[in-house]
């Protein structure tokens, strides 16, 4: 388990990890409420986070350890296409700026905890709400599992192998999330983000200096991609990849704030201005992400060779830890590894809380215990958060981790299918509730079908093509598969959303013509603008309906 | 839309002045149009998909998009300042 371990790295890593875990337990006393046995307290941290806490919380939530490991890995392997994370995180905030404040207002008046709560009240359909909740849980689970992949990559680079360390790390995480709820990741996020900023700023100054400057770094990348027979890679985008680049960035941006964990962090903020201000301040993380992506090129220049997995495939996710290991002194490499490791804990905690809230509010309370008291709700969520995390752990240990990566890829595509019911639902009730159900199902079907069709191929030196993976080989769907005479690809989620919207519109027209019964809308148009201080906005609604 | 609220609550004489004032609230502002700027700037890769001109050895593709982050912060900040409640 501990062959060839770097003692200094591991000691620094463990010290920081333990310190942060202690914070996680203490967090239950931070900004303490009288009673943590309420879902608004455990699951939303009291709904009273100001601009700074929200900034750290959302930053820690959205920019996950997996992002920090996978984005540079993609840039290392394919070049410019991996940089899509930058336009993605540029456009997301302007897009959701006006949408999230509406969601905040209506949720605070009605005491909604999850997006499915809103769907139920707005469209008057518990079936639609159930589907939205299940979609959310299914999209979130593999995302939690992937955070473990981030920790594992770091442990591998330190020479620690075997499953026990990761089980221990996750058990600690599960214990303090159970104990402290959303307050734990909110407090830990300060440390996580501080460490990440420190590490990245040092990395982009020290590493290019050691490698002979940016010109050499981009030069080495250009040389690698010129030598590679694969037509899709390069320091800039190959012509046909441009549509995929833009639709991937746009589609991912539309999907990001539909994820339950993003909405959890948004609903925990104190007022509308906190959200607006954060939409302007969060791109600071995008800047760090852009710099981080370029670590992929630095790894090329530094001659990093990814660690080969047990199945004999090179694991590109190990390149960032290996680069840190090679370029930094042991103690600072330890800090960098801790930053990634702790970076996995914050989103994993928030995601499991969000998934647990969906379970409690939209399945347990709706179908199992209709008269659940706030205390029973909080207890149900706490238990569900444990189940969700151990499920993720089993998925990583028991199945091929590749399975989680595939699922996460689909995760973005399937959560995007809740856009008509949730995001468009915030603006209009034109869609019929049954049409939204049909659209969601159609979108999911198209999403699965397209990603199933996508192959991952490798072009060999003699121009022959090897199929590396027959299915779920990426998210770029070749338009030629639809019979179009082109080499262009498009983000599969985009096609699925298009199908979803078309079905929603047609089915609505048909259902109206047939005079199918409309659902009851329990929201009022002026409630979408209410802010803190409005008598209708309760910080802790007694009756949570 | 037939399903939406039939009357304008802002003009309903039965409501208290505070309730009428609440009903008049909205998020509309001409400043919101600025939010489209970052989308136009980065969602059309042909604008920036090239190497030259480089800046401090960075290909155009990379420094343009990093600069776009700063632009989007300024734009979003402006909209926030002009529309804060």
CATH code of residue A277: 1.20.1730.10
CB A295 within 8 A of CB A323: yes
CB A1 within 8 A of CB A168: no
Q: List, in order, residues 6 or more apart from A187 with CB less than 8 Å away.
A: A23, A24, A26, A27, A30
- How much is the CA Rg of chain B, to the nearest whole Å? 22
Q: List, in order, residues 6 or more apart from A375 with CB less than 8 Å away.
A: A37, A38
Q: How far is B8 from chain A (nearest CA, A)?
A: 10
What does the block give as tokens for A334? Answer: 């330890």
For residue A437, being part of any structural domain is answered with no
Element (H, E) at A11: helix A7-26
**Interface test mutation site (partner A, options B5, B65, B70, B75, max chain A beta carbons within 10 A):** B65
For residue A280, being part of any structural domain is answered with yes
**Residue B3 confidence (pLDDT) above 90:** no
Q: What's the burial of A543, exposed, middle or buried (CB within 10 Å: 0-12/13-18/19+)? A: exposed
CB contact under 8 Å between B5 and A524, yes or no, is yes
Q: How far is B33 from chain A (nearest CA, A)?
A: 10
**Residue B2 confidence (pLDDT) above 50:** no
CB contact under 8 Å between A530 and B22, yes or no, is yes
For residue A101, the chain B residues in CB contact (below 8 A) are 27
What's the total number of domains in chain A? 1
CB A363 within 8 A of CB A133: yes
Enumerate the β-bridge partners of residue A457.
A467
String of DSSP letters for A168-206: HHHHHHHHHHHHHTTHHHHHHHHHHHHHHHHHHHHHHHH
CB contact under 8 Å between B59 and A526, yes or no, is no
- Please tell me the number of Cα atoms within 13 Å of A339 on its side-chain side: 24
CA dist A51 and B78 (Å) reads 17
For residue A250, being part of any structural domain is answered with yes
Instruction: Identify the closest residue of chain B to A288 by CA–CA distance.
Output: B66
CB A366 within 8 A of CB A126: yes
Complex confidence, ipTM: 0.81
Instruction: Give the pLDDT confidence score for residue A297 in this predicted structure.
Output: 93
> C-alpha dihedral over A133, A138, A142, A144, to 10 degrees?
20
Q: Cite the DSSP H helix spans in A418-543.
A: 419-422, 433-453, 492-513
A465-469/A476-478 β-pairing: unpaired
For residue B58, the chain A residues in CB contact (below 8 A) are 214, 218
CA dist A82 and A473 (Å) reads 15
Instruction: Give the pLDDT confidence score for residue A366 in this predicted structure.
Output: 86
Q: Cite the DSSP H helix spans in B1-85.
A: 17-23, 36-42, 60-83
Which of A143, A151, A148 shows the shortest CA–CA distance to A397? A148
Instruction: Give the pLDDT confidence score for residue A416 in this predicted structure.
Output: 93
CB contact under 8 Å between A276 and B80, yes or no, is yes
What does the block give as tokens for A228? Answer: 């590679």
Instruction: Give the pLDDT confidence score for residue A251 in this predicted structure.
Output: 87
Instruction: Give the pLDDT confidence score for residue A2 in this predicted structure.
Output: 53
CA dist A249 and B68 (Å) reads 14
Q: Enumerate the domain spans of chain B.
A: 29-83
CB A295 within 8 A of CB A77: no
Q: List, in order, residues 6 or more apart from A498 with CB less than 8 Å away.
A: none
Q: List, in order, residues 6 or more apart from A268 with CB less than 8 Å away.
A: A44, A45, A46, A47, A48, A49, A54, A57, A182, A186
String of DSSP letters for A197-250: HHHHHHHHHHHHHHHT-HHHHHHHHHHHHHHS--TT-BSS--TTHHHHHHHHHH
CB contact under 8 Å between B61 and A284, yes or no, is no
Which of B77, B38, B32, B74 shows the shortest CA–CA distance to A98? B32
Instruction: Give the pLDDT confidence score for residue A35 in this predicted structure.
Output: 64
CB contact under 8 Å between A98 and B1, yes or no, is no
What does the block give as tokens for A110? Answer: 């009605």
For residue A113, being part of any structural domain is answered with yes
Instruction: Give the pLDDT confidence score for residue A228 in this predicted structure.
Output: 80
What does the block give as tokens for A165? Answer: 């360390």
Diameter of chain A by CA atoms?
A: 72
Q: What's the burial of A340, exposed, middle or buried (CB within 10 Å: 0-12/13-18/19+)? A: buried
Enumerate the β-bridge partners of residue B58.
B55
Number of helical H runs and strand E runs in chain A: 22, 4
String of DSSP letters for A282-334: THHHHHHHHHHHTHHHHHHHTT--PPB-TTS-B-GGGHHHHHHHHHS-HHHHH
Grouping H, G, I as helix, E, B as strand and the rest as coil, residue A314 is strand
Place of tokens 């420190």: A198
Which of A70, A142, A62 shows the shortest CA–CA distance to A396? A142
Q: Which domain holds residue A126?
A: 7-390
CA geometry: angle A203, A208, A212, nearest 5 deg = 155
What does the block give as tokens for A13? Answer: 């890593």
Give the distance, in angstroms, between the CA of residue A1 and the centroid of all CA atoms in the same chain: 30
Q: What are the tens digits of pLDDT across the range B15-59?
A: 666 666 666 677 777 788 888 888 999 999 999 988 889 898 899
User: Which residues in B11-29 are b (16+ Cβ under 10 Å) and which e?
Assistant: eeeeeeeebbebbebebee
What does the block give as tokens for A292? Answer: 């981080």
pLDDT block averages, 10 residues each, chain A of length 545: 71 87 80 70 76 80 80 88 90 88 88 90 91 91 82 80 81 84 84 87 90 90 84 81 87 89 86 85 86 92 82 78 88 88 86 89 86 84 86 77 70 91 90 93 92 77 73 79 80 91 94 87 81 69 39
Instruction: Give the pLDDT confidence score for residue A274 in this predicted structure.
Output: 85
Q: How far is B49 from chain A (nearest CA, A)?
A: 6
Q: List, in order, residues 6 or more apart from A103 with CB less than 8 Å away.
A: A115, A118, A263, A266, A267, A426
Q: Does the beta carbon of A507 lie under 8 angstroms from any beta carbon of chain B?
A: no
- Closest by Cβ to A94, choosing from B3, B35, B50: B35
How many angstroms separate the first and last alpha carbons of chain B?
29
CA dist A86 and A84 (Å) reads 5
For residue A515, being part of any structural domain is answered with no
Q: What backbone phi and psi angles, to 5 degrees, belong to A308? A: -85, 135
Q: What's the burial of B8, exposed, middle or buried (CB within 10 Å: 0-12/13-18/19+)? A: exposed
Q: What's the burial of A376, exposed, middle or buried (CB within 10 Å: 0-12/13-18/19+)? A: middle
């Amino acid at each position: 388990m501990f062959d060839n371990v770097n003692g200094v790295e591991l000691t620094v890593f463990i010290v920081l990890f333990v310190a942060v875990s202690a914070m996680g337990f203490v967090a239950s006393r931070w900004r303490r409420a009288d009673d943590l046995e309420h879902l608004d307290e455990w699951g939303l941290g009291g709904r009273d986070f100001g601009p700074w806490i929200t900034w750290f919380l959302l930053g820690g939530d959205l920019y996950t350890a997996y992002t920090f490991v996978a984005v540079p890995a993609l840039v290392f392997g394919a070049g410019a296409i991996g940089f899509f994370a930058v336009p993605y995180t540029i456009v997301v905030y302007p897009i959701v700026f006006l949408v999230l404040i509406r969601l905040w207002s209506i949720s605070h008046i009605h005491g909604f905890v999850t997006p499915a709560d809103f769907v139920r009240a707005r469209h008057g359909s518990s079936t639609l709400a159930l589907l939205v909740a299940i979609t959310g849980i299914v999209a979130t689970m593999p995302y939690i599992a992937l955070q473990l992949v981030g920790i594992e990559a770091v442990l591998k680079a330190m020479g620690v192998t075997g499953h026990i360390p990761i089980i221990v790390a996750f058990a600690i995480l599960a214990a303090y999330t159970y104990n402290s709820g959303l307050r734990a990741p909110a407090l830990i996020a300060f440390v996580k983000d501080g460490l990440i900023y420190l590490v990245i700023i040092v990395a982009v100054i020290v590493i290019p200096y050691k490698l002979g400057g940016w010109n050499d770094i981009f030069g080495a990348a250009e040389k690698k991609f010129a030598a590679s027979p694969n037509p899709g890679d390069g320091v800039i985008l190959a012509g046909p990849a441009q549509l995929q680049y833009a639709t991937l960035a746009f589609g991912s941006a539309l999907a990001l704030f539909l994820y339950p964990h993003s909405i959890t962090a948004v609903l925990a903020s104190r007022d509308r201005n906190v959200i607006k201000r954060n939409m302007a301040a969060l791109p600071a993380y995008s800047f760090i992400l852009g710099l981080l992506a370029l670590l992929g090129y630095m790894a090329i220049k530094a001659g990093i060779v990814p660690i080969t997995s047990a199945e004999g495939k090179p694991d590109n996710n190990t390149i960032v830890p290996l680069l840190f290991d090679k370029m930094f002194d042991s103690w600072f490499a330890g800090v960098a590894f801790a930053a990634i490791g702790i970076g996995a804990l914050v989103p994993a905690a928030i995601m499991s809380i969000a998934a647990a809230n969906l379970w409690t509010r939209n399945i347990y309370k709706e179908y199992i215990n209709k008269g659940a008291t706030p205390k029973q709700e909080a207890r149900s969520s706490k238990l569900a958060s444990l189940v969700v995390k151990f499920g993720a752990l089993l998925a990583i240990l028991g199945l091929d981790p590749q399975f989680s990566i595939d699922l996460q890829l689909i995760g973005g595509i399937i959560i995007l299918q809740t856009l008509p019911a949730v995001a468009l639902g915030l603006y209009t009730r034109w869609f019929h509730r049954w049409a939204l159900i049909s659209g969601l199902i159609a979108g999911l079907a198209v999403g699965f079908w397209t990603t199933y069709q996508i192959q991952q191929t490798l072009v060999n030196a003699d121009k022959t093509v090897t199929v590396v993976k027959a299915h779920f080989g990426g998210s770029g769907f070749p338009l030629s598969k639809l019979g179009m005479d082109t080499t262009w690809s498009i983000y599969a989620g985009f096609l699925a959303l298009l199908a979803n919207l078309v079905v929603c519109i047609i089915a609505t027209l048909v259902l109206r013509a047939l005079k199918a019964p409309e659902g009851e809308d329990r929201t009022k148009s002026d409630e979408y603008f209410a802010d803190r201080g409005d008598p209708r906005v309760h910080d802790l609604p007694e009756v949570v309906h | 839309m037939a399903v939406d609220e039939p009357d304008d609550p802002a003009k309903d004489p039965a409501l208290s002045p505070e309730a009428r004032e609440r009903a008049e609230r909205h998020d509309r502002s001409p400043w919101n149009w600025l939010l489209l700027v970052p989308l136009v700037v980065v969602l059309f890769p042909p604008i920036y998909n090239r190497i030259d001109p480089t800046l401090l050895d960075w290909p155009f593709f990379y420094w343009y998009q990093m600069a776009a982050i700063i632009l989007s912060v300024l734009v979003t900040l402006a909209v926030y300042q002009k529309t804060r409640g």
